[in-house]
A and B are shown apart, each in its own frame.
Chain A
Amino acid sequence: RKEVEQDPGPFNVPEGATVAFNCTYSNSASQSFFWYRQDCRKEPKLLMSVYSSGNEDGRFTAQLNRASQYISLLIRDSKLSDSATYLCVVNAMDSSYKLIFGSGTRLLVRP
């Protein structure tokens, strides 16, 4: 079983749509959670951290469910520029501070 699992997609949605991605993680001791965005042939960039109480950044809302070990990302009012791959990320909970990346969910927003 992968440590972080995501639906690879692609999710193909029209502009203005609301789309949600989920991911699950296997290490119940994980304490830090993130969503990264990766554009084609570019490096991943931090989109937002995910906090236990849930958090919002403009059109983006992240939620964490520790009991079920899943993380979600909701994008409202999708823009063409939101087309990218979204990576779910958790920390490894060891001394390396390393992060474990999901394989990503691809989003395509069409006009």
Chain B
Amino acid sequence: DAGITQSPRHKVTETGTPVTLRCHQTENHRYMYWYRQDPGHGLRLIHYSYGVKDTDKGEVSDGYSVSRSKTEDFLLTLESATSSQTSVYFCAISAPATGLHGYTFGSGTRLTVV
């Protein structure tokens, strides 16, 4: 399997606190993505990165920011966590041509905001 890890695996945090989730890859892939998955909505793209310091918004980016200072790390920050951000967060990586290979996902982070 591709080398992609997410941390933490589980987190409970209080409303209003900042939270950072980490995605780490050892595949040297250029593209990295953050999704959230909620019942009835499937996987929705939050932010993605197409290189070091190159990021862009997805469809549900409000309340989230990202950073990519190294090829291998893509951080997702919830600036001030809200209960609506309780979700499962998945990071994914792809080689340049997803037309051939699709994504590989990390194991996910279960975040609960209380």
Contacts and interface: CB of A to CB of B under 8 A. Distances in A.
A80 interface: no
Contacts of B108: 42-43
A42 B107 contact: yes
A43 B33 contact: no
B76 to A, nearest CB: 15
Contacts, number: 57
A42 B99 CA distance: 24
A87 B98 contact: no
A49 B42 CA distance: 19
Nearest to A48: B102
Given A43-B90, A101-B42, A101-B43, A31 B105 contact: no
Interface residues of B, number: 26
B102 A46 contact: yes
Interface string B52-86: 00001010000000000000000000000000000
A102 to B, nearest CB: 6
Nearest to A32: B99
Contact of B105 (A43, A97, A103): A43
B53 to A, nearest CB: 16
B47 to A, nearest CB: 10
A21 interface: no
Given A87-B43, A95-B50, 9 more contacts: A32-B102, A44-B103, A96-B48, A96-B56, A97-B31, A97-B94, A97-B97, A101-B35, A103-B42
Interface in A13-56: 31-32, 34, 36, 42-46, 49
A31 B102 CA distance: 12
A21 to B, nearest CB: 14
Contacts of B103: 44, 46, 99
Contacts of A96: 31, 48, 50, 56
A45 B105 CA distance: 7
Interface string B88-114: 001000101111101111111000000
A73 interface: no
